[in-house]
Amino acid sequence: MDNGKVKEAILKRSIFKTISYMKPETAESLNTGNDAAALKLSKDKVTVISTNPVTYTFNSMEKLVVASAVNNVAVRGAKPVSIDTCILLPERYKETALKKMIENLHIACNELNIYISGGHTEVTPAVISPVISVTAVGMADSGKVLSVSDIKPGMDIVICGYIGLAGSAIILDKKGEDLRKRFCDSFLDGMNDFENCYSIAEEAAVAVNSGVTAMHDVSRGGIMKALWEMAETADVGIEVNLDNIPIRQQTIELCEYYNLNPYEMMSTGAVIMVTEDGAGLVSVLSHRGYVAEVAGQTTDSNDRVFIRNEERAFITPPKGDEIYKIFQKGNEK
């Protein structure tokens, strides 16, 4: 199988079909559009849970893994509460490095006003670099959990946050020396805030209070993968104008330099919001200082279409994330 998240077709035939039994507490069946499970464990509250790993080492990996899991909870309309961690370390990993990792996880949680409730830490020859998996837990009122399945044709698609920030931050961390030969310091220094933009929990809370119908965070595989997953789960068509999707100039130029597609690159820090009033939601988000644009609409067809420079093309089933090309041998300038 290819690097990255397992492809949707494999998920459906080898995982979702295998896990066929659902207990009454499970609010919905497994699907690719809702990345957090909703469990109705009491009459008035729903517990929302999501797990996310980081399987390669880079400077802000702790911030990314916490935000990724918490984002999945937040887009369901839940208030994030805590995380559990599972940390697998290679042999000869130093205790000082582990302590620094935990400190960074703690800082990331403090920034999101959540806490670490428990976890597991193990040294194992099964890994050659640290692997961190985070399970985030949140709470929502019964009947108020958002689901991509509630999306209908004729709704507006809003993109909040810049796509490609996480991928750009990883590229800078892994290829910084090479990049400083190509780009000026001021251009690259403009990326220093990228790692502080992984969380969309606050934006999601604003959207929930503004009548959003559903949300889907944009992570591995980029905006194209997220749009496909959302449309597939909701069983709607989509038409999106790429020119209206927020993207930083640094991301564009880094992707051009390494021949990467920014629309298929890790984009933790961006979120798709679907609503009946896209202009109104953008106005509210913009007033709060968040970047947001109406990028398209859902349709009653089966077509998933993107438009760029007035040319139309189809969104294809998702592939692996472009960021993995950075780790491949031979990808040197």
Q: How confident is the prediction along the chain (333 residues), in pLDDT tens digits per residue?
A: 555 555 556 555 555 555 555 555 555 555 555 677 878 777 788 899 999 998 878 888 999 999 999 999 999 999 999 999 999 999 999 999 999 999 999 999 999 999 999 999 999 999 999 999 999 999 999 889 999 999 999 999 999 999 999 999 999 999 999 999 999 999 999 998 999 999 999 999 999 999 999 999 999 999 999 999 999 999 999 999 999 999 999 999 999 999 999 999 999 999 999 999 999 999 999 999 999 999 999 999 989 999 998 889 998 887 889 998 987 754 555
What does R_g of the chain's alpha carbons equal in angstroms? 19
Contact between 26 and 39 under an 8 Å Cβ cutoff? The reply is yes
Q: How big is the chain, counted in residues?
A: 333
Partners of 51 in beta bridges: 135
How far the first Cα of the chain sits from its last, in Å, is: 28
pLDDT at residue 36 in the model: 75
CA proximity to 157, closest of 220, 107, 227, 94:
227
Torsion on CA atoms 193, 78, 211, 298, rounded to nearest 10? 80
Residue intervals in the chain for CATH 3.30.1330.10: 8-141
Which stretches does DSSP call E strand in 99-204?
115-123, 131-141, 156-160
CA proximity to 171, closest of 291, 27, 325:
325
CA proximity to 200, closest of 274, 126, 275, 267:
267
Amino acid letter at 203? E
pLDDT at residue 216 in the model: 96
Contact between 164 and 255 under an 8 Å Cβ cutoff? The reply is yes
Query: Which residues are CB-neighbours of 166 under 8 A, at least 6 positions away?
Result: 64, 194, 198, 219, 266, 267, 268, 269
Torsion on CA atoms 199, 205, 207, 213, rounded to nearest 10? 100
The 3-state DSSP class for residue 84 equals strand
Instruction: Please state the CATH superfamily assignment of the domain spanning residues 8-141 in this structure.
Output: PurM-like, N-terminal domain (3.30.1330.10)
pLDDT at residue 247 in the model: 97
pLDDT at residue 14 in the model: 53
Partners of 134 in beta bridges: 52, 85
| DSSP-assigned letters across all residues of 276-329 | S-HHHHHHHHHHTT--EEEEEEEESSS-EEEEETTEEEEPPPP---GGGGGGST
CATH number assigned to the domain covering 148-327:
3.90.650.10
pLDDT at residue 283 in the model: 98
The 3-state DSSP class for residue 201 equals helix
Amino acid letter at 191? M
- Interatomic CA distance for residues 169 and 178, integer angstroms: 14
pTM tops 0.85: yes
pLDDT at residue 272 in the model: 98
pLDDT at residue 156 in the model: 98
Contact between 160 and 207 under an 8 Å Cβ cutoff? The reply is yes
Residue intervals in the chain for CATH 3.90.650.10: 148-327
